[in-house]
Amino acid sequence: MSEVSRRRMFGLAGAGVALAGAGAAGAGIDRALGSHPAAATTDIVPFSGEHQAGIVTPAQEHLHFAALDVTTKDRAELVSLLKTWTDAARKMTRGQDVGATGAIGGSPAAPPADTGEALELPPSALTLTIGFGPSLFDDRFGLAASRPAALAELPAFPKDKLEPARSGGDLCIQACANDPQVAVHAVRNLVRLGFGTTEVRWSQLGFGRSSSTSTTQSTPRNLFGFKDGTNNLKAEDPAALDEHVWVTEADGQPWLAGGSYLVARRIRMHIETWDRTSLDEQEKVVGRAKGTGAALGQTAEFDPVDLHIGGAGGEPLVPVDAHIRLASAESMGGAKILRRGYNFVDGSDGLGHLEAGLFFICFNRDPRKQFIPMQKALSAKDSMMEYIQHTGSALFAVPPGVSETGYWGDTLFEG
């Protein structure tokens, strides 16, 4: 099968769901009840641009996030891999197979150039976003002088219970798509192309996007059952993105201009404890009504938050230790972040409970001024801390978007 065949099949099938495999006469056309609508066949998010896709792209339904360590010490090998990855990412985000010969072309005596599990699936709005961890800027690749000052290991926060096997990494790949098999396929093929150069340090699946990144999306709910990210930064406010998300040349390292910093935090939720907590207490912890999502004292979800309304006993209606108060721009001196996390359930914990929570991802222009002070305040004062535990952590510098002829990280390695 040629490299363009996934796309070609969609074209041949015309309008409607294009799922009949080449030669698969008799195969049904619906992948399952209610999934993969016809519109998905044109569901391609452009790979190239000023910024990487997958940051302000309207958040897709599914995440596969992988952190990798580089095992080679050869800078040229690393650059070669980044070029190979870029080529593969261009193809996969268009719904094509990886490699010149695709999944089932090429020599029968050789391994297929693509692993095949995304054949017949539409592009599914796949985005692939890469990041560079602080450890990449050690003495292995001659990058020490290019390390941005903001790209340092995150400090320890009170009550962190971080697992090294869920933290850190030289590189990260964030794959988001509306079909988890498409996201998994993309990460798996990049990992495969990295054999001998990189290896997986940790990986995380997520679903049910736990924030919206566009005003065209409704606000989803996290596994506490609350709408999450109502006041998130949105793609439709480019001035706010310039202020809070995109790094500029003036920020220090010119190679990172147009890029950002990605913070990943795996947050285990003690859902069993939460579920035994009264509605009143839950709403005080969050600072919002569970049903409407309105801030306490307000009527509708998007009514402006007012932290100064008085409540019973002289206490403010939005408690002093409420999550939305501590995380608010008002409390944070104007600092905001772009949240882009996902819910997760990773089986069970061996103690009779589901292992569930929020895989928090945010993008910010300078974690020293945004995520870190925010998390310091939350970890010290947020009443929600009783119900959560941070079990994984990582920080990555996210290079700018790639031109039509460039490759991931070219401004760093060619700069």
Is there binding between residue 201 and its own copies (CB under 8 A)? Answer: yes
Q: Which is nearer to its own copies, 266 or 365 (CB)?
A: 266
Are 93 and 224 contacting, i.e. CB atoms less than 8 angstroms apart? no
Please report, as residue ranges, which positions from 32 to 61 form the binding site for its own copies (by CB under 8 A): 32-37, 39-40, 43, 58-61
Q: Which is nearer to its own copies, 298 or 370 (CB)?
A: 298
Please report, as residue ranges, which positions from 245 to 304 form the binding site for its own copies (by CB under 8 A): 271-272, 275-280, 282-283, 289-294, 299-302
Q: Residue written as tokens 């985005």? A: 127
Please report, as residue ranges, which positions from 351 to 390 form the binding site for its own copies (by CB under 8 A): 352-356
The residue range among 213-221, 243-251, 312-320, 393-401 that interacts with its own copies, by the rule CB under 8 A, is 213-221
**How far is the CA of 23 from the CAs of 9, 54, 118, 295, 371, in angstroms?**
11, 34, 16, 56, 52
Minimum distance between the CB of residue 49 and its own copies, rounded to whole angstroms?
17
Pairing assessment for the beta strands 171-177 and 62-70 based on DSSP bridges: antiparallel
Q: From CA 276, how far away is CA 366, in angstroms rounded?
A: 38
Q: Which is nearer to its own copies, 34 or 333 (CB)?
A: 34
Minimum distance between the CB of residue 259 and its own copies, rounded to whole angstroms?
24
Are 402 and 255 contacting, i.e. CB atoms less than 8 angstroms apart? no
The residue range among 7-15, 46-54, 117-125, 327-335 that interacts with its own copies, by the rule CB under 8 A, is 117-125
331 burial via Cβ count (<10 Å: 0-12, 13-18, 19+)? middle
Is there binding between residue 207 and its own copies (CB under 8 A)? Answer: yes
Task: Using alpha carbons, select from 11, 5, 20, 4 the residue that is nearest to residue 42.
Answer: 11
Is there binding between residue 197 and its own copies (CB under 8 A)? Answer: no
Are 411 and 182 contacting, i.e. CB atoms less than 8 angstroms apart? no
Is there binding between residue 188 and its own copies (CB under 8 A)? Answer: yes
Q: Which is nearer to its own copies, 288 or 365 (CB)?
A: 288
Task: Using alpha carbons, select from 405, 380, 410, 406 the residue that is nearest to residue 157.
Answer: 380
Residues 6 or more apart from 212 whose CB is under 8 A from it?
Answer: 58, 59, 218, 219, 220, 229, 232, 234
Q: Which is nearer to its own copies, 271 or 412 (CB)?
A: 271
Q: Which is nearer to its own copies, 32 or 145 (CB)?
A: 32
The residue range among 108-116, 136-144, 373-381, 400-408 that interacts with its own copies, by the rule CB under 8 A, is 108-116
- Mask for 56-75, x = binds its own copies (CB under 8 A): --xxxxx-x-x---------
